[in-house]
Amino acid sequence: MDKRVERKKLDLTSRYQALTEDLQWTTSYQPMDKVFPYARFEGIRVHDWSQWHDPFKMTLDVWWRQQSDKERRVYAVLDAFAQNNGQIGISDARYINAVKLMLQTFAPLKYALHRALAHSARNLPGNALRTATQLQATQLLRHSQNTMHAASVYNKYFNGMHETPRWYEQAWYLAPVKSFADDAASAGPFELLVAISFGFESLLSDTLFVPLMSAAAHNGDLSMAPAGFSSQSDAARHKQAGITTVKFLLQQDSSNIDTVQHWVDKWFWRSFRLMPMVAMLQDYMVPKRVGSWRESWDTYVEAPVEALFAELAQYGLKKPAGWQAACAAKDHLSHQAWNAFYGYGDALAFHTWVPGNDELEWLDRKYPNTFDRWYRPRLAYYAQRETAGQRFHNHSLPMQCQVCQQPMMFTEPGDGRWIAYRETHHHDESFHFCSDQCETIFTNEPEKYVQAKLPSHAILQARKNLPTDDALQASIADLGVVIGRDNGEFNGSEDDTNFTEWGGGQDMKEAQL
Ligand code: ZN
């Protein structure tokens, strides 16, 4: 009888080595510089690519197995939710606007970043980092699809979800998200990694996943919650890979330190300028609340980032330049964002409202230093106007920051009274910014940011003859948004009345009794 041949099994490290670094070869038909044309132009010096190791030692075959397991689990839950009419069991139809905003911002953002990362992966000369970046790109594509599929069940029953990819490309209030992705995608491969894997994923993405997905579950959204948790386990890996990459670049050559610091400063701030939407989702758009944005910031950002940079100090990296300003904004951000969006309620593709009395009390308890003084009086005024049948509308066109493209809605750090406003001249033209940080980003690369297409300017140019608020509304109506049905006041909207008619939210109420 033949003796069975025992196949020698490689240990994890050798297997990882064989399936990543060992696949590297030096090209002979073409010089390596031509095969990797973007490897040098950012000035980053790498002497030994074999020093970069994926902290999770992920290889392609293991990765496929894990991802397909996750997919099977997520889609089993999504199917069950749809078949059991799960949309009736959510806490309150206002919650659906949180789903709409996620669908308009984070699903397309992840899609755009997957493309950018795939491009970066192609252009990185190190095989292990290239493999990890390629896997990350594909995961972002999966997350984008999961979010869209999780939201699709609601699209059958609620308004305002029908053309989200187009809105992401063209709606004025989604410009900050699109401009963030475009800026990252037009950077070199190393800057992109520092921007996305480190600046966005390592420093800020936990504020997005963890509290929002708990909030989704808490509000009976058993469609978005499992999709979010499925992404979270990948995001944890991206986060570690981002930190490993930054350490690797800093260790490879001391001349990399200044460049990496510059990117960390820039991309922390650009990522932070996506946070107003996350903050208002958490504090205003989720009817049953698990915690405030400020609490999330303290737990998921402030404490871990302080600890991370204490560790990175030995590599020569300092905390991002905008760190203090970002921490000072934690008491204001959600309120300023909701105030701006409420005022422009007819120019969005979701509904806005004034929170109920118990919600105002909650906000006061969570923001004892700022809410009563600066923000509650405005909301009281809006409520009064609404009761009198004269809902408040902001009739001006929003002025947008040349870099982050957010409306100028932020106040000076530590002072709730004055809107922060900065102005710079470049080649006889004036440019306006929401903060010192955005102004610095511009002055470091003016030739990049003078090209930014600001929606407010485009709207003014296209509709010179209309009053400004009509122009803003017309711009959103051109994108297929039905004014008054897909946006405006939530109370009395079609979403509101339908949900009540269907007996929606009863499960939640019974569970509370
Ligand atoms: Zn800005």
What integer pLDDT is reported at residue 236 of this predicted model? 84
| pLDDT tens for each residue of 405-454 | 999 999 998 788 999 999 999 999 999 999 999 999 999 999 999 999 99
Cα 343-349-353 angle, rounded to 5 deg: 45
| pLDDT tens for each residue of 261-294 | 999 999 999 999 999 999 999 999 999 998 999 9
pTM: 0.95
What integer pLDDT is reported at residue 510 of this predicted model? 66
What integer pLDDT is reported at residue 223 of this predicted model? 92
Considering only 272-276, 416-420, 463-467, 505-509, which range has the smallest mean pLDDT?
A: 505-509
Parallel, antiparallel, or unpaired: how do β-strands 351-352 and 488-489 relate?
parallel
Q: How far apart are CA 102 and CA 150, in angstroms?
A: 11
* Rg, C-alpha atoms of the chain: 24
Q: How far apart are CA 388 and CA 385, in angstroms?
A: 5
Distance (angstroms) between ligand 1 centre and the Cα of 420 equals 10
Distance (angstroms) between ligand 1 centre and the Cα of 157 equals 36
What integer pLDDT is reported at residue 61 of this predicted model? 87
Q: How far apart are CA 493 and CA 485, in angstroms?
A: 7
Asked if 440 and 321 count as a contact pair (C-beta separation under 8 A), the reply is yes
Distance (angstroms) between ligand 1 centre and the Cα of 112 equals 21
Distance (angstroms) between ligand 1 centre and the Cα of 22 equals 44
pLDDT confidence tier of residue 465, bands split at 50, 70 and 90: confident
Asked if 273 and 177 count as a contact pair (C-beta separation under 8 A), the reply is no
Distance (angstroms) between ligand 1 centre and the Cα of 359 equals 30
Q: How far apart are CA 214 and CA 292, in angstroms?
A: 12
Distance (angstroms) between ligand 1 centre and the Cα of 276 equals 12
| pLDDT tens for each residue of 2-43 | 777 777 788 888 889 898 888 888 999 999 999 999 999 899
Across the range 109-130, mean pLDDT stands at 95
Q: Rounded to 5 degrees, what are φ and ψ at 90?
A: -70, 165
The neighbouring-strand residues paired with 394 are: none
Cα distances from 511 to residues 288, 428, 478, 502, 505, in angstroms, run 13, 63, 43, 18, 10
pLDDT confidence tier of residue 245, bands split at 50, 70 and 90: very high
| pLDDT tens for each residue of 16-27 | 989 888 888 899
What percentage of residues in the chain have a pLDDT greater than 70?
Answer: 98
| pLDDT tens for each residue of 138-188 | 999 999 999 999 999 999 999 999 999 999 999 999 999 999 999 999 999
Q: Work out the end-to-end distance of the chain between its first and last CA atoms, rounded to an integer number of angstroms.
A: 72
Q: Which residues surround the ion ligand 1 when the cut-off is CB under 5 Å?
A: 401, 403-404, 434, 438
Q: How far apart are CA 437 and CA 266, in angstroms?
A: 8
Distance (angstroms) between ligand 1 centre and the Cα of 410 equals 9
Q: How far apart are CA 340 and CA 399, in angstroms?
A: 11
What percentage of residues in the chain have a pLDDT greater than 90?
Answer: 78
What integer pLDDT is reported at residue 512 of this predicted model? 59
What integer pLDDT is reported at residue 469 of this predicted model? 65
